[in-house]
Structure 1
C-alpha cells in the first residue's frame, strides 16, 4: 500500500472561494472541521476499546480479537466477524503507516489471532484439505466456533483479511523486514488467497449476511486481494498461483452487475433466496474498498469516479428520501441519512452511521480522482448525478474553472453527509450501528467497531490520505469471461510460524448433504452423525452442532444443504434435526448411512427428505 498525503482535498481556487464566502458558510465549515477532528480521536479510541487484550469494553476477549460491539443483548454482537475485523485492521494499518506507531502491537496481536482462527474447525468446514472453514463469518471472542444458524459461507472475509495483512506487509518491507513477511505473515495471507482463487465464482452470503448469491462487494474485494497478492509475492520472490484468477474475477465483475433498465449497479446476482431491487449500499462500500487513487475513472472495477458508480450513488441515495421520517422534506440533491437498502426490515429498517459515512467517503474519493486527472467527463450515464449537485451540468469534458466549481459542489455534498452523522451523534461521540428513522436516536448495537472504523476512513480521505494498492498493475480481463477457478485442495497449511497449531491432514473426501425439509419462520435444520465433525452421535441433543445452509430454498423447493469433508472411505451414519423456534429439537425418524469416497474419490451427494413421527 502506498499512501499519498496532501492537504489539497479540493483545488486551491475552490478553497479560496470558500474562505471568501458568506460568514455562515465559513462558520458551518469550521464547525464540521472541529467535529471531524474531535470525533476522529473518539472513534480511534472506540476501536481500541473493542479489541481484546486490553480493550476496556470487551473484557475476556482474546488479544488481537476485534469485537463487533460490546453489546451482548438486543442485539448480541459480542463476537468477532472476519469481515468487520479485517476492515477495521485496514484502517488501523493506514493509521500506523501514517505515523501512529502505538498501533503496531494491536496489529501484531491481530496477526497472531488470525493464524489460529484459520485452523478452527467450524460449521463451514476445516482448513484442510479444501479451506472451507475460511468462509466462516464469525467466532466467539475466545477464538472458538459458533454453532448457531447463520448465513454461511461469507467469501469476503478471507479477501479482506489478506488485504489488511498485505498492506501491513508493505510497511514491514519498507523497514527491511522481508523475512518476517515471508515466513510469518505470508502463510496466513496465502491461505486466504487460495480460498479466494478456489471459490470466487461460487455463491456465498453478502456483507449484510442475508442474500446468497454473487455479491458486488465480495467480488470487488476478491479482485483487489488477488492483484495485491500477485504484487506482494513478486516482491518477496514467491509464487501466487491462485492470483492468476484476477483477470477472470475482473471480467465477471465488469460484465454482470449493471442494471441498464434501472440505471444502477445491482448488489447481487445469481440469487435464489430473496427478491429485491438490488439497490444497496453494498456497491458504495465495494467501490470505496476498491478505491485506488492511481486508477482511471474508466477502470473496469468501478472506481468512485466511474460514471456507472456515480449513477448508482444517486439511485441509492434517492431510495432513502421517502422511507425515513427523519429525511422528510429533504429535496433531491441534498444530503440525508442513508440505510443499507430500501427493503431493509432489520430493527425496523433504519439509516446506519457507516453507510451514511460511506457515501461521504465515496464522494471524497471521486473528487480526489477527478482532481488528480485534472479532467471531468459528464456523460449520459452520470449526468443526473451531476445535475443534482450542479444544476448547470451538461454532457462534455471539463477542466479549469468548471472542473473546480463542480468539485467544490461535490465536496460540499460530501460534507453534508458527514453533517448528517454529526447531527445524530450523541454528545459523547459514541457511534452505534443505526439511527432511528423516526427520532434520530442511536439504535441497535452500541459502540459499533465498524461505525468507528468507517468514520476514520472517511476522515482519512477528507484529509487527503489516499491509497494505491496496484490496480494499474492488474492484468486486464479477457474478451470473454470463463467460469474458472484455482484448485487449491490439499494446499492449505496452518501458519505455524505465526502461532497456528498443526491440523489433521488425514485423507478426507467431500460429501454434500441435501434434505428437503419444509420449515416455518424461526425453525432451522441441523445435521448430526457418528463422526466428530457431525457431532459424534445420532438421536442425541448434545451432538447438535452443525447447522445446514438454507441458501437454496425456493417457494417450491425447501432444500437445506451443507458441504463437508469427512474421513475418506469410512461409512458415516447421519440424521437430520429440526430445531424449533423455542430451541427444542425434533429428530428425523430415519437415520441414514453415506459411503464416503475413498481417498481421491469423487464427491458424494445425498438427497433425502425429512420425516417426522415414529
Structure 2
C-alpha cells in the first residue's frame, strides 16, 4: 500500500493507513506517544509467508545482537547523565545530555523531551527489576527537574508556567538564551509521565509520603502547564515546524489521564486534568483522515528511494528517517526512528495476545490484506491459524528493523543520531542518549517486558470538541538547604586571612580554630572582598562574626555586636550575605 504524505507541517508521529494495528487508530493511544513508537514513519511493507524455515535463523541473529548491544546501550546511556557519567564532566547532577558532542553538531545541552523519554525508560527498567543505582539516578533526575522548572528562560518563567515550555537548557541548568524553536509543549507532558510512573511505584511500595511530598509538586507544575497550554501551538518534537502535532497532543492526553489518576491516589483534586483530557482526546481525532483511513502524519514508501534501501524487497524492513523531505544533514535514517518502527510492531503483537484475538475492521482491513490476501473483516481468536500467521509475519517484520540497526551500528556498539542514507556509516551526534533508550525500549518490548498500563482512566470522546483551558498555579519546592555565600569587605595586608566563626557547628561553635576561611580570589584594591560559601539549613537562624588571622597566627575580632542572619526558606538554593568589617 502506498500512501502520500498528507501532513504539510511534517508532523512528528507517522503511523500509516495500516496503523490501525490495534482497532481504529483514532482510539489508539498507547506507546505511540512515548519513546518507542512516536517516530514510526515507514511504509509497512509486508513479509511473505513462504520463509518459515528462516525464522529460527533470523531470531537467533537478532537475539545475538540484542544480547551484545544491551550492555553497551545501558552503559552509554548512564554515561550521559550527570554528574558522574563518563561523558558528563561539568554536567549538573541528574541532568541528561543529548550527546557528548560539543561541535558539528553541538548537542552538549539538556532537552526536556529527550531527558523525559530517557528517564521514562530508566523508570520502566527500575520497576521491572529493582536497582538501587537506577533509583538514585531517578531521584537525582526529579531533584534536577524541580530546580530546572524554576529557571526563567526565553519562553517565560514559573510564575505563569510559560517557562516550562522551554526546549533546552545548558548542562549547568542555566537558561539557554540563543535562538531556537520555542516553545515546545510536549516536554512537560512527557516529564510528568515519567515521574508519575515512578510515583505510582512509590505508592504501591509503601512510600506514599515521598510521592506526595517530593514527586507530586514537580508533576503538578507540568500537569498545570498542560491543562493551560494544551490547545496552543508550538514546535514539534523535531523542532522545525510550529503548529499542532499528533505526538504532542497524544503526550498531553496521556499526562492528563495519568495525572488525574495520581491526584486521586494522593487525595488531591485532579478535576482540572480529568475535565481537560476529553477535550485533548477529541482534538486528537482531528488528525485522523477518515477518507483515507490514516493519521495526518504519514510517510510513504519513499524511504525506499535511499540508496541504503535499494534492492530491499517490498516485504522487508527498511532504514527509517524522520521524513523524506528532511534536509538536516541532507536527510538520513535515524537509529531511534528505525527502532521505533520495531517497537510499535512488538507492542501490537503484545496487545493482540493480551486481547486473545485480532479484530479486522473496515479501517484496518487494508493492513491485514497485505498480510493475508484472503482475509475479511471479523475477529480471529488467538488459537486460529490466521492469528498465528499474522503475528509471525509482524514479528519477522519487526525483527527486520532491528537487523538494520545491527548492520549499521557504530564501532563497538555505539549509536549516533543518524546513519548515512548511501552507505550506512554513522552521522551527526555521537552517542545519542535517545538512540540508546530507543534500542533498550524496543529490546524490552520484543522480550515481552511491558511498562504498567495507564489506559484504565481513558476518557470518552465528546460529541463536540472544546478548547477549554485551566490556568492552574505553579510553585517550586521549598529548599531544605541553602548555599549561603558570605561576603566580607575589609582591607587586609599580605599574609592576612579573613575567617568566619559562629554559634553553629558549620561555623565552629565559636571555636576560632574551627573557623571557616574566606577566599580572597576576587579581592581588588577597589573592592577588597573576601568570600566563602557554606551550606546551611533553610530557615536556620545563626549568630556569627569575622576574624582576621595574621601570618604569625595572632587574630583580631571585629567589633561587637554579634551578627545575626536567618537563612531564607524559599525555592532558592543559593543566597548571599554581604557584610563590611565592624570597626
Q: Deviations over 1:452-493 (max 9, x none)?
A: 0000110111111123443232231211111111122xx111
Alpha-carbon spacing, 1:25–1:485, altered in 2? closer, same or farther (3 Å):
same
Residue 38 of structure 1: aligned partner: 68
Task: Pick from 380, 397, 402 the counterpart of residue 398 of structure 1.
Answer: 380
2 CA distance for matches of 1:378 and 1:499?
59
Task: Decide whether the 8 Å contact of 2:369 with 2:375 is kept in 1.
Answer: yes
1 CA distance for matches of 2:481 and 2:60?
48
1 CA distance for matches of 2:411 and 2:377?
44
Residue 480 of structure 1: aligned partner: 464
Task: Pick from 333, 345, 370 the counterpart of residue 315 of structure 2.
Answer: 333
Residue 220 of structure 1: aligned partner: 250
Alpha-carbon spacing, 1:368–1:499, altered in 2? closer, same or farther (3 Å):
farther
Residue 352 of structure 1: aligned partner: 334
Task: Pick from 152, 155, 159 the counterpart of residue 124 of structure 1.
Answer: 155
In the alignment, structure 1 residue 366 sits paired with structure 2 residue 397: no
In the alignment, structure 1 residue 415 sits paired with structure 2 residue 403: no
1 CA distance for matches of 2:210 and 2:426?
43
In the alignment, structure 1 residue 106 sits paired with structure 2 residue 89: no
In the alignment, structure 1 residue 429 sits paired with structure 2 residue 459: no
2 CA distance for matches of 1:122 and 1:403?
53
Residue 59 of structure 1: aligned partner: 89
Task: Decide whether the 8 Å contact of 1:111 with 1:498 is kept in 2.
Answer: no
Residue 290 of structure 1: aligned partner: none
User: 2:388 is paired with a residue of what secondary structure?
Assistant: helix
User: 2:317 is paired with a residue of what secondary structure?
Assistant: coil
User: 1:320 is paired with a residue of what secondary structure?
Assistant: helix
1:375 to partner: Cα distance: 1.6
User: 1:134 is paired with a residue of what secondary structure?
Assistant: helix
Residue 364 of structure 2: aligned partner: 382
Equivalent residues in 2 for 1:100-499, closer than 5 Å = 100-101=130-131, 102-128=133-159, 130-243=160-273, 244-254=275-285, 256-267=286-297, 279=298, 316=299, 318-322=301-305, 324-399=306-381, 400-488=384-472, 491-496=473-478
1:81 to partner: Cα distance: 0.1
1:500 to partner: Cα distance: 10
1:498 to partner: Cα distance: 7.9
1 CA distance for matches of 2:171 and 2:393?
44
Q: Deviations over 1:541-576 (max 9, x none)?
A: xxxxxxxxxxxxxxxxxxxxxxxxxxxxxxxxxxxx
1:420 to partner: Cα distance: 0.9
Q: Based on CA coordinates, which of the two structures has the bigger radius of gyration?
A: 2
Extract unaligned runs of 5+ from structure 1.
4-17, 268-278, 280-315, 502-614
In the alignment, structure 1 residue 80 sits paired with structure 2 residue 110: yes
Alpha-carbon spacing, 1:499–1:441, altered in 2? closer, same or farther (3 Å):
farther
Equivalent residues in 2 for 1:548-559, closer than 5 Å = none
Task: Decide whether the 8 Å contact of 2:261 with 2:270 is kept in 1.
Answer: no
Residue 98 of structure 2: aligned partner: 68
1:175 to partner: Cα distance: 1.9
Task: Decide whether the 8 Å contact of 2:258 with 2:457 is kept in 1.
Answer: no
Alpha-carbon spacing, 1:390–1:326, altered in 2? closer, same or farther (3 Å):
farther
1 CA distance for matches of 2:52 and 2:386?
18
1 CA distance for matches of 2:347 and 2:480?
35
Task: Decide whether the 8 Å contact of 2:279 with 2:466 is kept in 1.
Answer: yes
User: 2:424 is paired with a residue of what secondary structure?
Assistant: coil
